[in-house]
Amino acid sequence: MVAEDHEEGFLLLSTGDGRKQWLFNLIESIREFYPEAPVHVLTDAPVDVPHTLIGAGTGLDSRFYKTRLYHHSPFGRTIFLDDDTIVNGCFGMLEGLLDGWDVGMALDPFATLGLWRDNVLRNCMGHFPGWDAFVGYVDGVKEDRPFFNSGVMVWRRGEVARRLFDRWHGLWRDGGRGPDQTWLARAVLELEVEVRVLPQEMNFYPVEGHRFGHGSYPRAEEAKVIHYLSHHGKRVMEEAGRRAPFHRAYLEHVAGRG
């Protein structure tokens, strides 16, 4: 377990050279709106902020660390952001986001279990380990339950969050080590964890085709966190002109590999 050094802070996870520009964009955006906030990165290469070096892996290997984020956070209250997000405005302190809850998460583009299941049945059945079984599992629970996106999560250190992450990791590990969000949804349901649904401006999808079942949607200028959804939104990110400088520690690391 990482020692708790700060009351609140940002936890990031990034592996692979192809995602480092995104990571540096994200760190720069945090500094713009939260210049004094602690930032800790789980990364496969050195960066210019406090970090923990982890194995590089390939493909979905980073989910091993994502499902164990609780044990890597040095903060009493943590906000985790995927490396394909940017902070676009101040959203206050994490205690305010949690509003007395132990865990808060943003909705996925497919905002309910039923919408996610229907998409998998149409387009993705059999693509990843565990998805077929999870579709059957969804049929046995309420279809209108929220389906959370693991790219924007907030939690306070304590038994509720620890049990949730440990169950999430166990389900992911034993279920074929594929995408993580189905196993997160199952862990939430099995443990009956009460999760605060974060305001949609905390996970704004700039591509309109990535919004299903969200009802009213905030305007872009209201977004506090913009989520580009990896390669699906890469063009949008590039059009935004975000090109944060590469970190010196990373450049030295890359030069040393040569």
* Ordered domains of the chain (ranges, CATH): 6-108+146-157+195-253 (3.90.550.10)
Report pLDDT for 136: 80
What pLDDT, on the 0 to 100 scale, is given for residue 123?
A: 72
pLDDT bin (cut points 50, 70, 90) of residue 23 is very high
pLDDT beyond 90 at 151: yes
Do 67 and 168 touch, CB atoms closer than 8 A? Answer: yes
- Region 21-47: mean pLDDT is 95
Per mean pLDDT, which of 57-61, 160-164, 204-208 is the most reliable? 160-164
| 207-242 pLDDT per residue, tens | 776 677 776 788 888 999 999 876 665 666 666 667
C-beta separation of 2 from 71 below 8 A: yes
Q: Whole-structure pTM over 0.85, yes or no?
A: yes
Task: State the pLDDT at residue 219.
Answer: 83
The pLDDT value given to residue 9: 97
Do the beta carbons of residue 151 and residue 81 sit within 8 Å?
Answer: yes
> 1: pLDDT confidence band, cut at 50, 70 and 90?
very low
Mean pLDDT of 132-149: 84
Average pLDDT rounded to a whole number, residues 89-95:
95
Between 120 and 5, whose confidence is greater? 120
The CA angle 44-50-56, to the nearest 5 degrees, is 5
pLDDT above 70 (res 49): yes
Residue 139 CA, chain-centre distance (Å), reads: 26
Give tens-digit pLDDT for 172-197. 998 877 778 989 999 999 999 999 99
Q: Rounded mean pLDDT of 52-76?
A: 87
What span, in angstroms and rounded, lies between the C-alpha atoms of 61 and 63? 5
Phi and psi for 31 in degrees, rounded to 5? -65, -30
Average pLDDT, the chain: 87
d(CA 66, CA 15): 11
Strand order in the sheet with 39-43: 51-53, 39-43, 6-14, 75-82, 146-156, 103-112, 196-197
Query: What per-residue confidence (pLDDT) applies to 57?
Result: 63
